[in-house]
Amino acid sequence: MSLLPSTGDVTGEQEGEIQVLGVGDDGSADVFEALSSDTSRRILTAIYDEPAPPSVLADRLDMSLQNVSYHLDNLEDVGVIQVAGTRYSEKGKEMNVYAPADDPVVMFVGTEERKTGFRDLLKRLVGATGLLFVISTLLFAFQAFGQPGGASDDLTLLELLSFPGLEFLLGGLFVLGLVVLLWVWNR
């Protein structure tokens, strides 16, 4: 381990806005080309599993450093990965740490109208799912800790499953699933 300073822990979390690319959109051909290689897809999957510098990826995937670097450059050029920090090797060499790009990319085949509808549906589902989890957590916390006799150290699995927060979450996810099925059915 190097004693030189490195940037903090790099995660694979994506906090940006979902980018929906249609087959005919600018840049989609470049993304398809970059992802056409099995090697690129293996590297991309490894980065999603755990961001890392090229040498670590090469070791993890049993590939040459030159091969990994070539594909990393291609993936970075089309915007599906980014340099998210730096680390120093044991020899003191600065290394870029690659992670997924902040803006996830979704490739969509269909008309412009359907692409717009799909993008809107994705945004609504992400927001609705997040809201479901927040409300469920609050209900669970209130039931478990907010009332006299609400929680004890020896809760059974059956008692945990009967909390309103879990019931609310499962019901909400079921309703969201029905909304998606209806959307697909009506298209």
Distance, CA of 169 to CA of 159 (rounded, Å):
16
CB atoms within 10 A of CB 31: 19
Cβ(12)–Cβ(100) below 8 Å = yes
For the chain, the average pLDDT equals 77
Distance, CA of 187 to CA of 176 (rounded, Å):
17
Q: What pLDDT, on a 0 to 100 scale, did the predictor assign at position 4?
A: 42
Higher per-residue pLDDT: 112 or 69:
69
Q: Is the pTM of this model over 0.75?
A: no
For residue 5, is pLDDT > 50? Answer: no
How distant, in Å, are the alpha carbons of 90, 97, 147, 154, 158 from that of 150?
53, 46, 5, 12, 14
Higher per-residue pLDDT: 129 or 158:
129
For residue 178, is pLDDT > 90? Answer: no
pLDDT digits (tens, 9 = 90+) for 80-125: 899 988 888 778 888 899 998 887 777 766 666 766 777 777 777 7
